[in-house]
Amino acid sequence: MSTVRTPSAVPLPPASGAWREGDPPGRRQWHVREKPLALEAGGELPGVRLAFETWGRLAPDRSNAVLVLHALTGDSHAAGPAGPGHPTPGWWDALIGAGRALDTDRWFIVVPNVLGGCQGSTGPSSPRPDGRRWAGDFPFLTQRDQVAVEAGLADELGIARWALVIGGSMGGMRAVEWAVTDPERTGALLLLATAAAASAEQIAWANIQLHAIRADPHWRAGDYHDAGPGRGPHAGLGLARRLAHVTYRSEAELAARFGRSPQDTEDPWTGGRYQVESYLDHHADKLVRRFDAGSYVTLTHAMNSHDVGRDRGGTRAALRRVTARTLVAGVDSDRLYPPTQQAELAASIPTADRLRLIESPYGHDGFLLEVEQVAALVRELVG
């Protein structure tokens, strides 16, 4: 007789997985901007704050600062264990630390949680000046708006020039914006699995994810944050995560890892799951417990808006403004941000070396998982 999974006694997730005032701060620090932030698409934010974490010590001449920019569902906790205030371990833990490629005995590492995010930075789950949450009224952001706030953080820290700016995927979008917007503030640049502009296919995949979230009856036009456990748009956010995760991995890896195997004793013919379905369920459940659907929507829109050549005479003209020594790397199995996009960056940035390829079966996630290859690129670029 086949065994079919039954619901477990796992606690319901909160309406939003966002960090909230009163939660443990963990390693977070905050940069507060009190003056209004004019937004590229129009309007303004009356004031913002940016959560960030640092590792290492800033040199007296402030020449050793490294800016690390996270991808869509990342945050400021790039290194260190999970603990109070940090539900997951550092997402690039093997890259940051004493003796590692980003050696904290040498470098001062700064990792902000992006504007629009949900782990301490101003975003849809944050309160407005009158105390109400922004929720569905949070304004449209672009990568340039996000970089403008990060520049304010650099100013507050007294960092006139980053020794290195590094980012992959969405973080790479901001990294290239940094190098084009403020060339004199970017000493070296490492772009991983990213693009000069979001492609039609990337926008299309993102659009389906946005529809999944907004079709959830618990979305409530984005005003759900105080609805109580189990009352957030978890089904929609979970579906968006499942879809996204398939694009983050390669077909070959999924086939080799899961094939057509059922999950444990479950029988897919009688309502059970295949292993790959259980894998996607697991990642969906993890995300709804640590992330915010409103931030997912806000940041996805910002990624779709990404075009480094907008109002700058086109992509090639914009990228010619980069003066930082640059390495561009793609993942050979990436089907979401294919290496052709990184080839365009490498060919258009005058200070870039040839395109490098990270060899990985993991697809787009290779830039996070193939740490030794990324570490080699860091060491090549900054020693």
> Mind telling me the catalytic residues?
169, 334, 364
Residue 237's φ and ψ, nearest 5 degrees, are -65, -40
3-class secondary structure for the chain? CCECCCCCCCCCCCCCCCCCCCCCCCCCEEEEECCCEECCCCCEECCEEEEEEEECCCCCCCCCEEEEECCCCCCCCCCCCCECCECCCCCCCCCECCCCCECCCCCEEEEECCCCCCCCCCCCCCECCCCCECHHHCCCCCHHHHHHHHHHHHHHHCCCCECEEEEECHHHHHHHHHHHHCHHHECEEEEECCCCECCHHHHHHHHHHHHHHHHCCCCHHHCCCCCCCCCCCHHHHHHHHHHHHHHHCCHHHHHHHCCCCECCCECHHHCCCEHHHHHHHHHHHHHHHHCCHHHHHHHHHHHHHCECCCCCCCHHHHHCCCCCEEEEEEECCCCCCCHHHHHHHHHHCCCECCCEEECCCCHHHHHHHCHHHHHHHHHHHHC
How far apart CA 134 and CA 60 sit, in angstroms, is 40
Residue of 59, 159, 151 lying closest to 104 (CA atoms): 59
DSSP state of 363: G
Counted residue by residue, the chain has a size of: 383
For 340, residues 6+ apart whose C-beta sits below 8 A from its C-beta are: none
**In this structure, how many other beta carbons lie within 10 angstroms of the beta carbon of residue 208?**
12
Integer-rounded Cα radius of gyration of the chain: 21
